[in-house]
Structure 1
Amino acid sequence: MNTLDTSIIISTYNSTKWLEKVLYGYNNQTYRMFEIVIADDGSTQETKELLDRMQKEVFYPIVHVWHEDNGFQKSQILNKAIVKCSTPYIIMSDGDCIPRKDFVEQHVKYREEGYFLSGGYFMLPMNISEKITKEDIYSEACFDVHWLKKNGLKASFKNNKLTSGGLKASLLNAVTPTNASWNGHNASGWKDDIVTVNGFDERMQYGGQDRELGERLVNLGIKSKQIRYNAVVIHLDHPRGYKNEASIAKNQAIRKTTRDEKKKQTDFGIVKK
């Protein structure tokens, strides 16, 4: 038995159809020394049943961290999931992001003490999201631009995310105007660093709570590395019923304080001050 050295936190809420596809993506990984920790923000029994069934089918252990549904409390459930991670390194992604087969391998390859890694995602429209089968995931067809175009994907510079490897990926990472921020859908760092900044700020609901965690890591002296063209996930479409302006405004004010006061820790995180 290989020793596990990586924990992957996947956040989910009542989205079993998408979560199943994501779990098949992790079953297709070239790097296999990881556990999956599901951060479940109050889903019904259907999610637990899916995880019980998938555990019989996949090679990796699944840890299901659940709390009761109390509205959008992603920061709270992520903190509970962080505590449950049994390895020194944590990758975070979402239950609507299917990883390419080298996704975990890329995070492991580029991880380094004193850094966190910032990946990107490739958004798919609903019609293609629904078409993707288990076979399309295992064969990697759903990461193939020709297959996606055949199924209605439009031409775009963003398609480079799916066709970049090696040198091209390094060049695009170097020139991208996007900040190497902590992204909830595709980022990774050392558990010790995440615990040192006290995890996510649980006052924050939808909008930027992942970025704020990254800002505290930077205040702590952790640098960020851009790997958006190396570590690829495709993002399945879904409605965002939880998106609201009041929550976003509140979070922006918290982030401003974090930056202005160079805060390294939140008082509203894993440990309540």
Structure 2
Amino acid sequence: MKSTLIISTYNWPQALELVLLSAFYQSQLPDEIIIADDGSTQETAQLIEEFKSKFSIPLRHVWHEDEGFRKSVILNKAIAQAQGEYIIQADGDCILHSNYVEDHLHYAQKNTYLFGSRVNIQESYLETLFKEKQIRFKAFSKGIKKRTRALHFPFLSQFYKASNLFSKKYRGCNTSYFKSDFVAVNGYNEDFKGWGREDSELALRFHNFGLQGKRIRYRGIVFHIYHNEKSKSRLEINNDIELQTIANKTVWCKNGVDKYLGETN
């Protein structure tokens, strides 16, 4: 089964460098990596070009103009171009545990989407993090909180079962699913502008479509690099869209990925 790792980013090459380093040292590489770039400057493009020669797999850069926070749009564009039948998703500010890809592929199964744990790297540790270009963390490493989430115990993860109910622990920065399921619900809803709810609303439509969600606790871990919060000026509007999805049990969003299918980069 071919897989694609999708990494979304916006104008933080310093963080993206660590994420790409953590992708390079995966215990199991995906078949390709696509950077979904929401309008970054040339510095990010240069970084990606430098990494292309390092990877033994294709590293592709899907970019559009910066017109504000349009994460839903750029993810749709990137996933539409993915060659893998299985999509593993992370953010450009989330360092991947060395078994991240392997863990997601281990539990990939039909009629199910997966989500793992996010460990937070503290603001006070950023200088050391970037100076040392640290990409390996354990439960007792300096600079992190929510330490139990950093425990990698494959044996314990098997006791977590798939559920028909949406979990509030779901995070779009650490998820995976079959591309065919993504296409079946028409991907991300591009009515979402600005920060908030675009990931959870997609997962809710997965459930409405008949998928189950499975938390891969103690596997599939990312380490989120601290940053200032994004503007929440659109959160109320975005929240209303999500509430409509819940009330109407919406499966298919009208403004989604279908417009990009069949395009080439």
Q: Does 1:36 align with 2:33?
A: yes
* Residue matched to 1:64: 61
Q: Does 1:168 align with 2:151?
A: no
Residue 214 of structure 1 aligns with an amino acid whose one-letter code is A
User: 2:152 & 2:86 partners in 1: Cα distance?
Assistant: 25
8 Å CA contact 1:8–1:37 kept in 2: the answer is yes
Offset at 1:6?
0.7
Residue 236 of structure 1 aligns with an amino acid whose one-letter code is I
Q: Does 1:136 align with 2:134?
A: yes
Percent of aligned positions with the same letter in both sequences? 36
* Residue matched to 1:248: 235
* Residue matched to 1:266: 253
RMSD over aligned Cα atoms: 2.1
Offset at 1:135?
6.2
Q: If the length of structure 2 is used for normalisation, what is the TM-score?
A: 0.89
Q: If the length of structure 1 is used for normalisation, what is the TM-score?
A: 0.87
8 Å CA contact 1:180–1:224 kept in 2: the answer is no
8 Å CA contact 1:170–1:229 kept in 2: the answer is no
User: 1:253 & 1:32 partners in 2: Cα distance?
Assistant: 38
User: 2:227 & 2:251 partners in 1: Cα distance?
Assistant: 34
Aligned runs of 1:1-273 on 2, under 5 Å? 5-132=2-129, 136-137=134-135, 140=136, 143-148=137-142, 152-153=143-144, 158-170=146-158, 173=160, 179=167, 182-205=170-193, 206-240=195-229, 242-245=230-233, 247-271=234-258
8 Å CA contact 1:34–1:60 kept in 2: the answer is yes
Offset at 1:40?
0.3
8 Å CA contact 2:108–2:114 kept in 1: the answer is yes
Offset at 1:42?
0.5
Structure number having the greater helix percentage: 1
Give CA deviations for 1:166-218 in whole Å, capped at 9, x if unaligned. 233445x56xxx91765220000000000110011111121010000011110
Unpaired stretches in structure 2, ≥5 consecutive residues: 260-265
Give CA deviations for 1:34-80 in whole Å, capped at 9, x if unaligned. 21111100011111100001112233321100000001111110100
* Residue matched to 2:263: none
Kindly tell me the number of residue pairs found equivalent between the two proteins: 254
